[in-house]
Amino acid sequence: MYKFLGIIGLSVLLMACDKVPTGNVGVKVHLLGGGKGVDSELLTPGRYYIGWNEDLFLFPTFTQTYVWGPYKNIDQSMSFQTVEGLSVSAAVGVIYSINPDKVVEIFQKYRKGIDEITQTYLRNIVRDSLVKQASILPIETVYGKGKSDLIENVQKDVKQQVEPIGIEIEKIYWASELVLPQQVTASINAKIQATQMAQQRQNEVATAKAEADKAVEAARGNAESIRMLAEAEAQSIKIKGDALAKNPAVIELEAINKWDGVLPKFTGNSAIPFISVEDK
């Protein structure tokens, strides 16, 4: 009989035990009596007796990843407005971890487990920061090159708010494309296309101008080359002319050197070359 009662008592005791898994820490909460409240002792991995008037909350110490977006029948995507009042929505992700040394402080502040803290309080902090940061930006900045700056500013803001209490933010990121009203998206895309076409035209004009400048420079170079050749030839002719004027016998000497010895049979009114014919 006593053995049976002992087995029953042991079974009840084991049923009252709870486990803190590896990679987690626990917080024991006293629900009733004079000791009602949060136990200041942090429970490391192991088994612990949890009485009928006590509760155990687990907090993982490894990195957590959570995405606030569409999931089954629930959509936790975050909506915000730009400076023009246009509504934008997107799924947002967070990567974070819990500082084990501050788990008791975190629970005392939020009075919830890690899931409730993530889905409610942390989400609200991220959403409020996103609303604040986006409210001063135009839609084209949010949709374009300013999108990464926006989420980085949100990350800095959230880190400053939650890290002092023990929630260490590693990264906040866009987990989906931004969703804008259809007419706004069409207008922005049309403007982007027009800007790209204008840039293309500018590039074409710049290319044509560069080609024209190249052709002009080539023509200028050719003209300069011709001028220099003409000047050189004229200078050569002048030098030869001056030399022959100073030495007329050179012409006769060259003619003699080239003469084949045969006199012309008819000269007309011209003089017979190389022979001085005296007038009788």
Per the document, the length of the chain is 280
Query: Where does a domain end: 128, 157, 180?
Result: 180
pLDDT at 132: 95
- Within this chain, do residues 173 and 151 fall inside the same structural domain, yes or no? yes
pLDDT at 238: 78
pLDDT at 118: 92
- Within this chain, do residues 189 and 250 fall inside the same structural domain, yes or no? yes
- Within this chain, do residues 28 and 68 fall inside the same structural domain, yes or no? no
- Within this chain, do residues 77 and 42 fall inside the same structural domain, yes or no? no
Residue 8 included in any domain: no
Total number of domains constituting the chain: 3
- Within this chain, do residues 90 and 120 fall inside the same structural domain, yes or no? yes
Which of left, alpha, beta for 278 (phi over 0: left; psi -120 to 50: alpha)?
beta
- Within this chain, do residues 69 and 135 fall inside the same structural domain, yes or no? yes
pLDDT at 33: 56
pLDDT at 267: 55
CA distance 175 to 124: 17
- Within this chain, do residues 119 and 159 fall inside the same structural domain, yes or no? yes
Q: Which residues contact 165 (CB under 8 A, 6 or more apart)?
A: 102, 105, 106, 109
CA distance 123 to 170: 15
Residue 270 included in any domain: no
For 97-102, which contacts have Cβ atoms below 8 Å and span 24 or more sequence positions? Answer: 97/61, 97/62, 97/63, 97/64, 97/168, 97/170, 98/59, 98/60, 98/61, 98/64, 98/166, 98/167, 98/168, 99/166, 99/167, 99/168, 100/25, 100/42, 100/59, 100/61, 101/166, 102/165, 102/166
- Within this chain, do residues 226 and 158 fall inside the same structural domain, yes or no? no
10-residue mean pLDDT profile of the chain (280 residues): values are: 45 59 86 63 83 84 92 88 90 95 87 88 95 92 88 96 94 92 64 68 78 81 83 80 70 66 61 54
Tens of pLDDT, residues 78-101: 999 999 888 899 999 999 999 988
pLDDT at 12: 40
**43: domain range?**
14-60
CA distance 68 to 76: 5
- Within this chain, do residues 166 and 188 fall inside the same structural domain, yes or no? no
Tens of pLDDT, residues 127-161: 999 999 999 999 888 888 889 999 999 999 999 99
pLDDT at 77: 93
Residue 194 included in any domain: yes
- Within this chain, do residues 19 and 102 fall inside the same structural domain, yes or no? no
pLDDT at 192: 65
pLDDT at 9: 43
